[in-house]
């Protein structure tokens, strides 16, 4: 019987098995353009380790979580989001989480409304 592949979609992208536009890559995190952009610029910052969602992060993950935000800021700068950008994490079904591998959305390039939908 074939073994099931339990890797997440984002692990497959990280490993190059599913194509994506890679905007950043280091030993702890990578950033890709979102395939279904909700703003003129929309990318995802993703930890290499497949932490499922923010809710599952622990105190020991504090450095990693900070790193994700610093990568978000760096890539936003590289993409010219100098008028502002929004950072979103969807945690759980009701928040709109569809991929169970933590990812930070970064959106910019248009004015944003508040509250979000
Ligand atoms: P969420 O709904 O917060 O879990 O976000 C998942 C995000 O992953 C969505 O914005 C999707 O558009 C995005 N996404 C799904 N598949 C891909 C893919 N193959 N490449 C890039 N982004 C993807």
* pLDDT-based confidence at residue 117 (cuts at 50, 70, 90): confident
In a domain, 86, yes or no: yes
> Number of folded domains in the chain?
1
In a domain, 13, yes or no: yes
| Rounded Cα–Cα distance for residues 90 and 83 (Å) | 23
CA of 43 to the centre of ligand 1 (A): 9
In a domain, 113, yes or no: no
Mean pLDDT of 88-101: 98
Read off the CATH number of the domain in which 23 is found: 3.30.428.10
In a domain, 117, yes or no: no
Residue 103: active-site member: yes
Residue with tokens 């890709």: 32
pLDDT at 4: 65
In a domain, 115, yes or no: no
In a domain, 114, yes or no: no
* 3-state SS class at 67: helix
In a domain, 4, yes or no: no
Check 14, 42, 101, 103 and give the catalytic one: 103
- Residue 5 buriedness (CB in 10 A; 0-12 / 13-18 / 19+): exposed
The string of pLDDT tens digits covering residues 35-74 is: 999 999 999 999 999 999 999 999 999 999 999 999 999 9
| pLDDT greater than 50 at residue 93 | yes
Q: Identify the domain containing residue 80 by its residue range.
A: 9-108
Tell me the two tokens of residue 67: 């790193």
Tell me the two tokens of residue 108: 């910019």
pLDDT at 102: 98
* pLDDT-based confidence at residue 97 (cuts at 50, 70, 90): very high
In a domain, 116, yes or no: no
């Amino acid at each position: 019987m074939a073994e099931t592949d339990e890797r997440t979609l984002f692990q497959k992208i990280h490993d190059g098995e599913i194509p994506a536009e890679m905007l950043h890559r280091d030993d702890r995190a990578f950033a890709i353009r979102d395939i279904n952009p909700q703003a003129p610029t929309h990318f995802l910052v993703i930890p290499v380790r497949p932490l499922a969602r923010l809710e599952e992060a622990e105190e020991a993950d504090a450095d990693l979580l900070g790193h994700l935000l610093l990568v978000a800021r760096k890539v936003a700068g590289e993409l010219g989001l100098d008028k502002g950008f929004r950072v979103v994490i969807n945690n759980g079904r009701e928040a709109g989480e569809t991929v169970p591998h933590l990812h930070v959305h970064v959106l910019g390039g248009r004015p944003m409304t508040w509250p979000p939908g």
